[in-house]
């Protein structure tokens, strides 16, 4: 690979960060882009543990949230004491905060690996979340802690009041973090993280303390999670106990896993898609959390490599120019797949409406423009019928996809 | 004081037995299949809700027998059509599957029964005072819960040690491959164990529902404590699960009963230096205590009290 | 004199079961030492004890004069002792090149460095490529290690063991499961890469053992019943009775 083609994805990323707000100019869009950028950093930090070192944590929000609280207290402190630290330096405080907490908690956490590590992370997460209601000074109780980012000293004339200015601050930080985290994977340490993930025993026998490797990975991951937390504090100007909670930890796990933990860009995709769904879906349907749970289960069951894994499955075929062979069967399968998806959504929405809303709003509902009754047999018959038809169709079409893949692997010259 | 101690001990042991009803199933599932079932507390919740529904339409006692069976069937289906598919991907996807499942179950329960607690009541046949001690009454229903938990424990022990199936399960705990070689249908045994584990959790839910609050959050509140019990007791050890359950049951119950604040206990100077913490009562930090115990165990005795297995 | 590896009255029990019942063994530097014995004699357990995977119940193990019993595997590895495994123990989803690269990093002093790009480290690249060349896997450089053939994986297994430049190398049944020609090939490889180093090998293939070894120790039920030059071992009556039986090496 020439150095030009290697720099290309990064240039593209920088261009996207810089120019997307020019294309999507509405305030909601720019807010969404800001949130996506923060979540990208958060998810990538999580994947340092999951994808790269093989550590499944259920409490990663602790480092995001605690650092976020630290950042918001720092912002208030700077304003109150008229310190000369402008806003763009606050994420550094967050990063150091995340690093500090990861250092302290990581020492206990990384003593063990595997399932026990996951349980420790869960317990620590619950510990911090439960403490958030007790330590009111730091966590601000139910209301949380607020700050005003425009009151910090200006940075080359910028006070970061408008969302677009905050977006660019976040975007620059996100870009820096993405580059740094990618660079980490290409260091001796980064490589040994992979080795520890693959075969911890053998890694010991080539001279590395697996506990030390995991501990360092944990600390570095905490640093970047802390940066993300600080960026969130800057963006929302408020931090509350939810940001250290189980829901936030579950969210970043979903983003990373659904995006694909096996590839560097996987969590980026996951963060973008899940953030988008989190923002838009809750407006459209009351059952949005159920959808997330089902999405997660479907990914685990049918594509444990996530979206990135699925994409990269096609990489060898693409390189050999064989993607065309797959196109017809994929196109064919998309029909029953769409049917079953439509049917499933209809079932869930109708059930949700009937169970939750019908008592107060009556059985009439709107579904993709159709006016339906959630208690009518016809509606239910349609929903179940569509879903069943889709599933049956999928089972009928699936052998064609297998055949197409068979043809692809036969067509490729060996070793290509 | 004596009154406090007596009742707290009774309640603590009761809570501990409840925890053990669930922790035992969880330990069996983990030992056999290597899966830490995140959705175990969810089965507990489903049991409570099923018990509630059945007691609403038919009666408490039918619910007592039917609900756990229903939950067991659901558990078996989950294992057969869900977990088994994911098994080939490894332990992490299995754990994540149960994690997603817990999530989905909570959402579905919320959809059917709403977010607020439901009125799952103690049946009239058990709604009387069991005894009176030091001016305080102790409800018969709680004695019933205790008796059920102990009966279940004895029953489990009997099955595991005295029946053929029990012996096979014991063998599969440590040597599943060998058991398969001997011709036993290990996948079916897995399904059985998972189903029975779920049923036990469901039974715990049926009897705990009227005493504790039946709400969609009940799984999320109990779940993490269950994992603390497992890790503190030692992964894979039933004895450890029992000891840890009782220990945590007692510790939490006593902590809630103690209204003294840390300042009261340790003196004003220490209290002041702790800031917010100093004014907090022991009862308020009771929810946190199991997790502190978890961290302490992991520092001083990482394999747990009776642990034999690495994960 | 200081022996490269010295075991003194090493015992290992798992609960009531005594697996190693008092093993005393001295291996000189540069020696090629084979350990043979029937199945269940405790040969792998002995390797686990030496390499630090498990700790002796009693007795001492010394590497170049310094005690290593009780140390963790990575500590022992850093002192210059390396091992291969009977059941292939590679990094399955990493490429062949990556497998070897990870194995040389510590010995080249890079430790936990996360501030230097690995691609720019010339000595890492050269050493890894040199190793790949030695074990004959250069053509499979970018293949995932888990997709290699069995013999190729065994070669990689040895490659990882020697990558760190250890002076004392333990090979646990390196020829396990190989055909005759593969064994020849592997034998040549082992001779080549362990030149000048101390080699301790567990093996069942007697032709290999008598071909390679300077000295042979015979382990039966956790005890060494004989430790001598190959010709003496062949004549030893106790050994014949316990193990060799009628079959003799070529």
Considering the domain architecture, whether residues C89 and C64 belong to the same structural domain is answered as no
Q: Which domain holds residue B39?
A: 2-300
**Which position has the token pair 């998806």?**
A341
Which residues numbered 251-310 in B keep a CB inside 8 Å of some CB on A?
A: 275-277, 280, 284-285, 287-288, 290-292, 294-295, 298-299, 302, 310
Residue B298 to residue A111, Cβ atoms within 8 A: yes
Considering the domain architecture, whether residues A297 and A324 belong to the same structural domain is answered as no
Residues in B closer than 8 angstroms to A56, CB to CB, are: 92, 95-96
**Which position has the token pair 């994947």?**
A47
- Which pLDDT band holds residue B311 (cuts at 50, 70, 90)? very low
Q: Per-residue pLDDT for chain C (250 aa), expressed as one digit of tens each?
A: 789 999 999 999 988 888 999 999 999 999 999 999 888 788 989 999 999 999 999 999 999 999 998 999 999 999 999 999 988 899 999 999 999 999 999 999 898 999 888 888 999 999 999 999 988 899 999 999 999 999 899 999 999 999 988 999 999 998 888 888 888 888 888 888 888 899 999 988 888 888 889 999 999 888 998 898 988 888 888 777 776 654 444 4
More confident residue, A95 or B85: A95
Residue A308 · residue A269 · CB < 8 Å: yes
Residue A289 to residue B291, Cβ atoms within 8 A: no
CA distance C113 to chain A (A): 5
- Which pLDDT band holds residue A62 (cuts at 50, 70, 90)? very high
Buried b vs exposed e over A132-154: b needs ≥16 C-beta within 10 Å? bebbeeebbeeebbebebeebee
- What CATH number does residue C246 fall under? 3.40.50.300
The whole-angstrom separation of Cα A321 and Cα A311 is 15
Model pLDDT for residues A162-209, shown as the tens digit of each residue: 999 999 999 999 999 999 999 999 999 999 999 999 999 999 999 999
The whole-angstrom separation of Cα B219 and Cα B39 is 8
Q: Does C51 touch chain A (CB under 8 A)?
A: yes
CA C96 to the chain's CA centroid: 20
- Portion of chain A with pLDDT greater than 70, in percent: 98
- Portion of chain B with pLDDT greater than 90, in percent: 24
For residue A362, what are the CA distances in angstroms to A347, A365, A373?
Answer: 17, 8, 9
Residue C60 phi/psi, 5-degree rounding, is: -130, 155
| Minimal Cβ distance to B224: which of A56, A126, A292 | A126
Considering the domain architecture, whether residues A346 and A289 belong to the same structural domain is answered as no
Q: Which domain holds residue C226?
A: 1-80+170-177+198-250
| Minimal Cβ distance to A188: which of C51, C85, C113 | C113
Residue B240 in tokens: 């450890």
Report chain A's mean pLDDT, rounded to a whole number: 90
Task: Give the residue from chain A lying closest to B222, CA to CA.
Answer: A126
Distance between the two ends of chain A, CA-based, in angstroms? 16
Model pLDDT for residues B94-117, shown as the tens digit of each residue: 889 999 999 999 999 998 998 888
Considering the domain architecture, whether residues C58 and C88 belong to the same structural domain is answered as no
β partners of residue B137: B132
Q: Does C113 touch chain A (CB under 8 A)?
A: yes
Q: Which domain holds residue A257?
A: 3-307
User: Strand pairing of A370-373 and B129-133?
Assistant: unpaired
Residue B256 in tokens: 């809630």
Closest residue by Cα to residue B127 from B108, B140, B143, B113:
B140
Model pLDDT for residues B5-31, shown as the tens digit of each residue: 888 888 899 899 999 989 988 988 887
Confidence check: pLDDT of B261 > 60: no
Which residues numbered 20-79 in B keep a CB inside 8 Å of some CB on A?
A: 36
CA distance A263 to chain C (A): 13
Considering the domain architecture, whether residues C89 and C157 belong to the same structural domain is answered as yes
| C48 Cβ neighbours under 8 A, 6+ residues apart | C54
Residue C250 pLDDT: 41
Does any domain span residue B141?
A: yes
Confidence check: pLDDT of B302 > 80: no
Residue B275 pLDDT: 59
More confident residue, B161 or C163: C163
Domain final residue, candidates A263, A280, A307: A307
The whole-angstrom separation of Cα C228 and Cα C237 is 13
Model pLDDT for residues A227-259, shown as the tens digit of each residue: 999 999 999 999 999 999 988 999 999 999 999
Does any domain span residue B308?
A: no
Determine the average pLDDT of the residues in B287-303: 82
Residue C204 in tokens: 């069942």
More confident residue, A93 or B193: A93
Considering the domain architecture, whether residues A219 and A298 belong to the same structural domain is answered as yes
Residue C8 · residue C60 · CB < 8 Å: yes
- What CATH number does residue A133 fall under? 1.10.3470
Rg (CA), chain A: 24
* Burial of residue C26 (number of CB atoms within 10 Å: 0-12, 13-18, 19+): middle
Total count of domains within chain B: 1
Residue C124 to residue A190, Cβ atoms within 8 A: no
| Minimal Cβ distance to C112: which of A183, A194, A213 | A213
Residue ranges of chain A whose CB lies within 8 Å of a chain B CB: 56, 58, 108, 111-116, 118-120, 122-124, 126-127, 130-131, 134-138, 246, 250, 253, 257, 287, 289-290, 292-294, 296-297, 300-301, 304, 351-352, 355-356
User: Strand pairing of C66-67 and C81-83?
Assistant: unpaired
Considering the domain architecture, whether residues A223 and A344 belong to the same structural domain is answered as no
Does any domain span residue B275?
A: yes
More confident residue, A316 or C249: A316
Considering the domain architecture, whether residues A75 and A215 belong to the same structural domain is answered as yes
Residues in A closer than 8 angstroms to B112, CB to CB, are: 355
More confident residue, C250 or A84: A84
**Which position has the token pair 């405080």?**
A93
HEC string of C35-82? EECCCCCCHHHHHHHHHCCCCCCEEEEEECCEECCCCCHHHHHHCCEE
Global confidence as pTM: 0.90
Model pLDDT for residues A289-310, shown as the tens digit of each residue: 899 999 999 999 998 899 999 9
CA B115 to the chain's CA centroid: 22
Does any domain span residue C42?
A: yes
Closest residue by Cα to residue A352 from A289, A260, A407:
A289
Domain final residue, candidates A288, A307, A326: A307
More confident residue, A364 or B141: B141
Does any domain span residue B306?
A: no
The whole-angstrom separation of Cα A378 and Cα A359 is 20
Determine the average pLDDT of the residues in B241-249: 91
Determine the average pLDDT of the residues in A76-103: 94
HEC string of chain A? CCHHHHHHHHHHHHHHHHHHHHHCCCHHHHHHHHHHHHHHHHHHHHHHHHHHHCCCCCCCHHHHHHHHHHHHHHHHHHHHCCCCCCHHHHHHHHHHHHHHHHHHHHHHHCCCCHHHHHHHHHHHHHHHHHHHHHCHHHHCCCCCEECCHHHCCCECCECCCCHHHHHHHHHHHHHHHHHHHHHHHCCHHHHHHHHHHHCHHHHHHCCCCHHHHHHHHHHHHHHHHHHHHHHHHHHHCEECHHHHCHHHHHHHHHHHHHHCCCCCCHHHHHHHHHHHHHHHHHHHCCCHHHHHHHHHHHHHHHCCCHHHHHHHHCHHHHHCCCHHHHHHHHHHHHHHHHHHHHHHHHHHHHHHHHHHHHHHHCCEEEECCEEEECCCHHHHHHHHHHHHHHHHHHHHHHHHHHHHHHHHHHHCCCCC
Residue C44 · residue C202 · CB < 8 Å: yes
Model pLDDT for residues A356-385, shown as the tens digit of each residue: 777 777 777 777 777 777 778 888 888 899
Residue A194 to residue C117, Cβ atoms within 8 A: no
Total count of domains within chain C: 2
Considering the domain architecture, whether residues A255 and A127 belong to the same structural domain is answered as yes
Residues in B closer than 8 angstroms to A135, CB to CB, are: 276-277
Does any domain span residue C191?
A: no
The whole-angstrom separation of Cα B262 and Cα B284 is 10
Confidence check: pLDDT of B182 > 90: no
The whole-angstrom separation of Cα A1 and Cα B276 is 58
CA dihedral A351, A352, A354, A357 (to 10 degrees): 180
Question: What region, left, alpha or beta, does residue B34 occupy, with left being phi > 0 and alpha being psi -120 to 50 degrees?
Answer: left
């Amino acid at each position: 690979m020439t150095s030009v083609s290697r720099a290309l994805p990064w240039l593209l990323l920088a261009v996207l960060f810089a120019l997307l707000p020019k294309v999507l100019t509405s305030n909601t869009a720019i807010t969404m882009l800001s949130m996506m950028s923060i979540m990208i950093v958060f998810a990538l930090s999580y994947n340092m543990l999951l994808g790269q070192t093989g550590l499944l944590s259920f409490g990663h929000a602790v480092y995001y949230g605690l650092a976020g609280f630290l950042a918001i207290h720092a912002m208030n402190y700077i304003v109150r004491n008229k310190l000369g630290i402008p806003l763009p330096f606050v994420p550094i405080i967050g990063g150091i905060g995340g690093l500090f907490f990861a250092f302290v908690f990581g020492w206990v956490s990384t003593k063990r690996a595997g399932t026990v590590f996951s349980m420790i992370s869960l317990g620590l997460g619950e510990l911090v979340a439960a403490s958030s209601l007790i330590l009111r000074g730091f966590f601000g109780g139910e209301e949380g802690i607020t700050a005003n980012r425009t009151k910090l000293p200006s940075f080359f004339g910028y006070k970061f009041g408008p969302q677009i200015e905050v977006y660019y601050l976040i975007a620059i930080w996100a870009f820096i973090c993405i580059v740094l985290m990618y660079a980490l994977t290409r260091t001796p340490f980064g490589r040994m993280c992979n080795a520890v993930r693959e075969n911890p025993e053998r890694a010991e026998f080539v001279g590395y303390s697996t506990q030390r490797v995991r501990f360092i990975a944990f600390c570095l991951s905490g640093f970047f999670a802390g940066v993300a937390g600080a960026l969130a504090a800057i963006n929302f100007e408020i931090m509350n106990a939810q940001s250290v909670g189980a829901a936030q930890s579950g969210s970043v796990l979903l983003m990373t896993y659904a995006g694909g933990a096996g590839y560097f860009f996987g969590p980026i995709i996951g963060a973008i898609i899940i953030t988008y769904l989190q923002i838009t879906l809750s407006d459209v349907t009351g059952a949005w959390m159920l959808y997330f749970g089902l999405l997660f289960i479907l990914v685990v069951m049918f594509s444990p490599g996530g979206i990135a894994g699925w994409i990269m499955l096609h990489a060898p075929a693409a390189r050999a120019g064989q993607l065309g062979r797959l196109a017809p069967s994929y196109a064919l399968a998309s029909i029953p797949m769409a049917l079953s998806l439509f049917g499933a959504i209809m079932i869930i929405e109708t059930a949700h409406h009937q169970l939750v809303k019908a008592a107060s709003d009556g059985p009439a509902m709107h579904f993709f423009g159709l006016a339906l009754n959630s208690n009518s047999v016809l509606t239910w018959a349609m929903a179940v019928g569509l879903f069943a038809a889709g599933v049956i169709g999928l089972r009928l079409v699936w052998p064609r996809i297998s055949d197409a893949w068979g043809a692809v692997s036969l067509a490729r010259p060996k070793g290509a | 004081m004596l009154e406090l101690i007596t009742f707290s001990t009774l309640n603590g042991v009761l809570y501990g037995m409840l925890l053990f009803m669930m922790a035992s199933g969880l330990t069996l599932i983990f030992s056999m299949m290597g899966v830490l079932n995140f959705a175990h507390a969810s089965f507990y919740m489903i049991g409570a809700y099923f018990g509630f529904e059945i007691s609403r339409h038919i009666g408490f006692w039918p619910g007592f027998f039917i609900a756990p069976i229903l939950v067991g069937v659901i558990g078996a289906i989950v294992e057969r059509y869900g977990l088994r598919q994911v098994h080939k991907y490894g332990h992490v996807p299995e754990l994540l599957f149960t994690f997603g499942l817990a999530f989905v179950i909570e959402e579905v329960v919320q959809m059917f029964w709403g977010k607020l607690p439901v009125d799952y009541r103690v049946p009239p046949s058990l709604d009387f005072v069991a005894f009176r001690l030091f001016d305080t009454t102790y409800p018969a229903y709680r004695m019933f819960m205790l008796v059920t938990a102990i009966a279940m424990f004895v029953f489990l022990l009997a099955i595991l040690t005295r029946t053929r199936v029990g012996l096979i399960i014991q063998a599969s705990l440590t040597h599943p491959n060998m058991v398969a070689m001997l011709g036993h249908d290990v996948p079916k045994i897995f399904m059985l164990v998972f189903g029975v584990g779920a049923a036990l959790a469901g039974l715990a839910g049926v009897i705990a529902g009227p005493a504790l609050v039946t709400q969609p959050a009940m799984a999320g509140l109990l779940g993490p404590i269950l994992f603390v019990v497992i890790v503190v007791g030692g992964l894979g050890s039933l004895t450890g699960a029992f000891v840890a359950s009782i220990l945590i049951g007692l510790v939490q119950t006593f902590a809630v009963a103690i209204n003294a604040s840390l300042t009261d206990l340790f003196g004003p100077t220490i209290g002041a230096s702790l800031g917010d913490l100093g004014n907090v009562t022991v009862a308020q930090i009771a929810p946190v205590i199991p997790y502190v115990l978890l961290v302490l165990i992991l520092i001083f005795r990482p394999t747990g009290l009776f642990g034999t297995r690495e994960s | 004199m200081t022996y490269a590896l010295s075991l003194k009255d090493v015992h290992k029990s798992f609960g009531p079961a005594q697996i190693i019942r008092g093993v005393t063994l001295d291996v000189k530097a540069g020696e090629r030492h084979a350990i043979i014995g029937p199945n269940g004699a405790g040969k792998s357990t002995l390797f686990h004890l030496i390499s630090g995977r498990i700790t002796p119940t009693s007795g001492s193990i010394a590497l170049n004069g310094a005690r290593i019993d009780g140390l963790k595997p990575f500590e022992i590895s850093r002192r210059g002792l390396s091992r291969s495994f009977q059941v292939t123990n590679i990094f399955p989803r990493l490429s062949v090149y990556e497998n070897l690269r990870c194995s040389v990093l510590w010995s080249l002093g890079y430790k936990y460095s996360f501030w230097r790009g690995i691609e720019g480290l010339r000595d890492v690249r050269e050493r890894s490529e040199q190793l790949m060349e030695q074990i004959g896997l250069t053509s499979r450089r970018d293949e995932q290690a888990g997709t290699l053939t069995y013999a190729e994986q065994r070669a990689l297994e040895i490659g990882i063991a020697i990558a760190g430049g250890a002076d004392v190398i333990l090979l646990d049944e390196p020829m396990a499961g190989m055909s005759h020609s593969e064994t020849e090939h592997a034998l040549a490889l082992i001779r080549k890469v362990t030149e000048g180093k101390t080699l301790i090998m567990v093996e069942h293939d007697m032709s290999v053992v008598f071909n390679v070894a300077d000295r042979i120790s015979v382990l039966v039920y956790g005890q060494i019943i004989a430790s001598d030059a190959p010709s003496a071992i062949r004549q030893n009556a106790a050994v014949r009775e316990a193990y060799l039986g009628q079959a003799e090496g070529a």
